[in-house]
Amino acid sequence: MAIKMYEVQPDYMTTPGKILRDTIRSKNLTQEQAAENLGTSAKNLSNIINNKVSITPEMALKLEYVLETPASFWNNLAKNYQEYNESKKQDETISKEKEWLKKINYADLANKGFVPKTRKQQEKLKNLLKFFGYPTFKIMQTSMDNDKLLAGAYRISTNQGTINKYALKAWIQAGNLKANKINTDPFSRTALKKVVPQLRELNLQNDPQTFIPSMQKILSTAGVAVVFVPEVKGSRISGLTRWLPSNSTAVIELSLRYKTNDHLWFTFFHEIAHLLLHQRQPFFSMTKVYDEDPKESEADNWAANELIPRKQWDQFISDNQFDEKNIIAFANQIKIHPGIVVGRLQKEQLLSFKSHYNKLKVHYKWTI
């Protein structure tokens, strides 16, 4: 037996058939005598010895009586050998799928902690299948081709270029794995609407280690699982709102693509808007170059005005005094972070995106 780490890996140079043959000989029996004692034909026993026929539970029990070796030994031997053969077949199939390592950026997924780091191609392919949850890449490709969620994203163009469908698939899968670990109540628009003020209060907290757990706890009472997953290279995504297969839990997945608090909170409230205002369908948040869907504009307006109420905003910009002192004073007045005020001024082209007031924003960094 060869032992690797904590996993025992059998050496199947010695097959169940060979062990059976050696055991028969150790009892000073011929194959013909053993077959007669077992109540089977010599041909059937020969097929078992030559590994052409598996040892059945019935035969294992007979072997226990004739050869004085526990039936459990023979059953486990047969089971392990069958698993070994299937694993070998799987390895042979996977070894022919190396082109998938060109489709999927394994190093990027490994650096983000989605899959184990390794240099071996075979291990990479196995790790990818386990991560995505498929036994073969052929089945995975068929599933992707029929996935309505992904199909909607592929039709979107972005300012940064075409979306890599495999990168997006990986980002979504990482979010699914996280969301499935969050326990929530059944989704309720009424409950979600009630907790919006609590969620808005969290914008004043700078540390994600503090506000993310609070955000998740609050939203779980409304049937929403919120997860943060670093952007996979090529996915070009900021956020996604969707439903788990049970359809009783909504998922908000955020990538922190732009890594500043104004983008984070606007995208977060944009996704909440979809849950409050629109039907149960997926919504992607990306930098788009096509005409906005009216639902996206509705979500934008709701998010902007929920974070910074329109009446106060109009009064603030009418003064046209956007220095640091006034920005901070206005932010304190409406209990919003100054960085979010700066972000809205930039979005409405009242401040340059290169403004030195960017220093008022909170900048986040992913730690894996």
Full 3-state SS string of 311-327: HHHHHHHHHCCCCHHHH
**Candidate from 41-55, 251-265, 327-341 with smallest mean pLDDT:** 251-265
121: closest CA among 155, 97, 144, 147? 97
Helix (H, G, I), strand (E, B) or coil at 242: strand
Instruction: Name the band, by pLDDT with cuts 50, 70 and 90, for residue 13.
Output: low
pLDDT of 179 > 90? The answer is: yes
pLDDT on residue 368: 53
pLDDT of 353 > 70? The answer is: yes
The string of DSSP codes covering 77-135 is HHHHHHHHHHHHHHHHHHTT-TTHHHHS-HHHHHHTTSS---S-HHHHHHHHHHHHT-S
pLDDT on residue 3: 35
Instruction: Give percent of the chain with pLDDT exceeding 70.
Output: 91
Whose structure tokens read 């907290």?
Answer: 205
For the question of whether the overall pTM of this predicted structure is more than 0.85, the answer is no
Q: Which residues, 6+ apart, have CB-to-CB distance to 112 below 8 Å? A: 174, 230, 232, 366, 368
Instruction: Name the band, by pLDDT with cuts 50, 70 and 90, for residue 93.
Output: confident
Instruction: Give percent of the chain with pLDDT exceeding 90.
Output: 73
Classify domain 2-94 by CATH number: 1.10.260.40
pLDDT on residue 160: 58
pLDDT of 103 > 60? The answer is: yes
Q: Where are the domains of the chain?
A: 2-94, 100-146, 162-307
Q: What is the mean pLDDT of the chain?
A: 89
Count of CB atoms within 10 A of residue 121's CB?
15
Per the DSSP assignment, residues forming a β-bridge with 225 are 251
- Summarize pLDDT for 227-236 with one digit per residue, the tens: 999 999 998 8
- Give the whole-angstrom CA distance, residue 59 versus residue 35: 11
